[in-house]
Amino acid sequence: MAAPPDPYFSHWADFAAARTIAAHPDAQVYTVAAGITPSGVVHVGNFREIITVDLVARALREQGKTVRFIYSWDDFDVFRKVPEGMPQQEMLRDNLRRSIADVPDPYGDHDSYASHNIAALERSIEPLGIDCEFIRQSKRYRAGAYAAGIRKALEHQDDIRKILDQYRREPLPAEWLPLAGFDAETGRDDLSFRWDGDWTVTYTVASTGREQAVDLREGGDIKLPWRIDWPMRWSVEGVMFEPGGKDHSSDGGSYDTAKQIVEQVYAGWAPQYVAYDFVSIKGMGGKISSSSGNVVTVSDCLRVYEPKLLRWLFASYRPNTEFAISFDLDVLRIYEEYDRAVALAHEPDDGGRKDKKRQVARRTLDLADPAGERVVPGTTPPFQPPFRPLSMLLQIYDGDITRARAHYESTGELVSEREGVLFEQRAQCVWNWIDEFAPPDFRYRIRSVPAMLDLEGEQRIALQRLVAALEQHPQASDAELVPHMKQMFEGLELGPKDFFPVVYELLIDRPKGPKLTTLISVMGSERALPLLRASLADA
C-alpha cells in the first residue's frame, strides 16, 4: 500500500488517496464517485458511501490535488418493490416496473417519487460540509449522453456475455443484448430488443406487442443494465476512486465484472476501490433496508448527533468494519468518547508514547470537521458541556435552552460566540434525545404542582431542616449545600439512603434522580421550597 509522503496523513482515507494518486500520477483532476438508487428513503447506511468518498476527496485535496466529487442518482432504475410505510401504497403498486424517475411522488411535494427521495437526502447532508456534484442518470440517458457507451456495449456483446457467464449458473442466451429500458407508452420495462448494427435499437413490448425504433443518439428510454452501466460510466467520467458495499464486493460481484468490462470493452480503468460494510441501528439488528421500512435517515441521526460528531463516528471506523448507530443510552457513551477524543487531539505532542494516539485523534477530527478546520495542538478546545450533566440541566429547565446557556455563562464556562453556537447545537441534540429516545427511567420533570406526603418522625425532622437551610441560604451553590445535607441527619438514625428518595419524590415524582445538591442548586430555592414545604403543612 502506497503511503502518503507526510506522516500527518495517517488515516485510512489518506492511504486510499495515496493509492489513487499513485495510479494516476499525472492527472490534472481526480474524479471520485458515489451513487445510490433512490428507490426508497435514502438511509444512514447509504450515507456510508457518501461519507467514505467525501473523506477520500478531502484527503486528496489536502495533498494538493484538484478533485471532482460526483454523486450519481441512479433514478433510471426499475421501481421493483413498494417500501413499507410509504403513503399511497396502491398507487405505488400500480407503478411497479416503471423508471423510478417516472413514479409519482406519493407525498405530492415533488415531480416524482425519485425527486422526493433525492431532495430529502440532499437537504439532510447540507450541515455536514459535503461538497459534491449531483448527477441524475435519468436525465443523462434521456439526453443521449451515453449513446456511444451503449453502442460500444452492443459492439462487444459477446465479450460482455463471456465475462458475465463466468459467474452465472446458467449462461445468458445467445440472443441476449446488453440493453434495458422502458416503453414510451406504458412506461414499463417488459421489452425485448433488436439492434441494426448501427445507432438504431428496436424494442418489442411483451404486454402490448407494440414495436418502436429508437435512435440512441437522440436519447430516450433505452439504457444499459447495472453491471454494464457502472463500468461504462467509469470510462465516461474517468472515475479514479469509488467504494462499494460488500454485496458488490464479493467474488464475481458487480465490481469484479465491472473491472473486466471497463478494460476489455471501454479501454478504461477500474477506480481504486474500498468495500464498506453495513451500518446497523442498535436494537434493530441487521442491515438497514428501505424496502422493509427499517429506516433511519441522516436527518434522524442529526437530531441526536452533532454534525461533526456524526462525521467523526464514520471516520473513526475503517470502511470494512460494521458498526451500529445508537439511540439508546449508548448515546451518552458515544458523546463521552468524542469529548475525550477532542481533549486528546488538543494536547501537545511531547515525544512520548501517547503521541501516536494524539495524532490519530487529531487527524480523525480534522477530517470530521464539516468546515475542514484543523485542531491546533496545545490549544484549549472550545467549551462544550458533557452530555450527561447537560441533560440533567435541560430537564430541570424543562428544555429551555436559553436558560441552560445562561447557567453556563454565569459560571464563566461559556464565554465566546463560537462556544455559544456549539452549545446551542449540542443542547438541541441533547433535548431531542431526551424527548424522543431516552429510556423512561432517564427522564424526569420538576413537579408543577406540589405533592403532599404524610411524613412523620425523623423524615419530617430532616425535611424541616432541609427547608430551613434553603430559606437561610437561598443562593447556595452545589458545593455550599453539601455540609447542610450532612447536618440534616445529626442526632437522627435516619440516613441519606432512606431520606433522599422522599426529597426526589417531592421534587421530580421519582425515587431517585441526579445528584440532589446539584438538582436543588440548579432549580433554585425559589422553585424547590414550595414543593418541599407542602408536606410540612399542618394536617
Residue 205 has pLDDT above 50, yes or no: yes
C-alpha to C-alpha distance for 498 and 494, rounded to whole angstroms: 7
- Measure CA of the first residue to CA of the last residue in the chain; give whole Å: 81
Q: What is the mean pLDDT of residues 116-138?
A: 96
Evaluate whether 423 touches 408 at the Cβ level (below 8 Å): yes
C-alpha to C-alpha distance for 494 and 500, rounded to whole angstroms: 10
The reply to whether 110 and 127 lie within a common domain is yes
Longest dimension (CA), the chain: 104
Residue 189: domain span:
179-223
Burial grade of 455 (CB within 10 A; 0-12, 13-18, 19 or more):
middle
SS3 percent helix, strand, coil of the chain, rounded to 5, is 45, 10, 40
Residue 214 has pLDDT above 90, yes or no: yes
> Quick one: pLDDT at residue 338?
98
Q: How is residue 71 written as a grid cell?
A: 454523486
Q: How is residue 230 written as a grid cell?
A: 457502472
Q: How is residue 314 written as a grid cell?
A: 464514520
> Quick one: pLDDT at residue 4?
55
Boundary (domain end) residue, out of 248, 276, 304: 276
User: Cα 146 from chain centroid?
Assistant: 32
> Quick one: pLDDT at residue 247?
75
12-58 residue pLDDT tens: 999 999 999 999 999 999 999 999 999 988 999 899 999 999 999 99
- 380 assigned to some structural domain: no
The reply to whether 37 and 117 lie within a common domain is yes
470-520 residue pLDDT tens: 999 999 988 999 998 888 899 999 999 999 999 999 999 999 988 999 999
> Quick one: pLDDT at residue 286?
47
* Residue linked to cell 455559544: 420
The reply to whether 134 and 252 lie within a common domain is yes
Evaluate whether 433 touches 331 at the Cβ level (below 8 Å): yes
Residue type, 132: C
Q: What are phi and psi of 458, to 5 degrees?
A: -70, -30
Q: What is the mean pLDDT of residues 377-385?
A: 96
C-alpha to C-alpha distance for 40 and 86, rounded to whole angstroms: 9
Boundary (domain end) residue, out of 368, 396, 425: 368
Look at residue 31 and give its three-state secondary structure. strand
Q: What is the mean pLDDT of residues 201-207?
A: 97
* CA distances for 164 relative to 181, 207, 261, 328, angstroms: 20, 28, 9, 45
Q: Which residue has the higher pLDDT, 77 or 290?
A: 77
Residue 209 has pLDDT above 50, yes or no: yes
Q: What is the mean pLDDT of residues 393-402?
A: 94
The reply to whether 23 and 129 lie within a common domain is yes
The reply to whether 272 and 245 lie within a common domain is yes
> Quick one: pLDDT at residue 135?
97
CATH number at residue 208: 2.30.30
- 413 assigned to some structural domain: yes
> Quick one: pLDDT at residue 282?
83
- 427 assigned to some structural domain: yes
Residue 404 has pLDDT above 70, yes or no: yes
CATH number at residue 496: 1.10.10.350
Look at residue 100 and give its three-state secondary structure. helix
The reply to whether 115 and 19 lie within a common domain is yes
Evaluate whether 313 touches 326 at the Cβ level (below 8 Å): no
- 156 assigned to some structural domain: no
> Quick one: pLDDT at residue 66?
98
> Quick one: pLDDT at residue 293?
53
Listed range (113-127, 291-305, 438-452, 490-504) with the worst mean pLDDT: 291-305
The reply to whether 139 and 231 lie within a common domain is yes
Residue 290 has pLDDT above 60, yes or no: no
* Residue linked to cell 462525521: 311
Look at residue 358 and give its three-state secondary structure. helix
CATH number at residue 54: 3.40.50.620
The reply to whether 285 and 335 lie within a common domain is yes
- 376 assigned to some structural domain: no
- 379 assigned to some structural domain: no
Look at residue 12 and give its three-state secondary structure. helix
> Quick one: pLDDT at residue 17?
97
Using a pLDDT cut of 70, give the percent of the chain over it: 96
Confidence of residue 285 (pLDDT cuts 50, 70, 90): very low
What's the CA angle centered on 374, arms 371 and 377, to 5 degrees? 155
Evaluate whether 73 touches 135 at the Cβ level (below 8 Å): yes
The reply to whether 201 and 269 lie within a common domain is no
The angle that helices 496-508 and 516-523 make with each other, rounded to 10 degrees, is 30
C-alpha to C-alpha distance for 491 and 379, rounded to whole angstroms: 51
> Quick one: pLDDT at residue 539?
46
What is the bridge-based pairing of β-strands 30-36 and 239-241? parallel
> Quick one: pLDDT at residue 537?
82
The reply to whether 358 and 468 lie within a common domain is no
C-alpha to C-alpha distance for 395 and 405, rounded to whole angstroms: 13
The reply to whether 337 and 464 lie within a common domain is no
> Quick one: pLDDT at residue 248?
72
> Quick one: pLDDT at residue 295?
83
The reply to whether 245 and 139 lie within a common domain is yes
- 86 assigned to some structural domain: yes
* Residue linked to cell 473513526: 316
User: Cα 215 from chain centroid?
Assistant: 42
Number of structural domains (the chain) is 5
- 286 assigned to some structural domain: yes
The residue among 53, 22, 56, 50 whose CA lies nearest residue 38 is 50
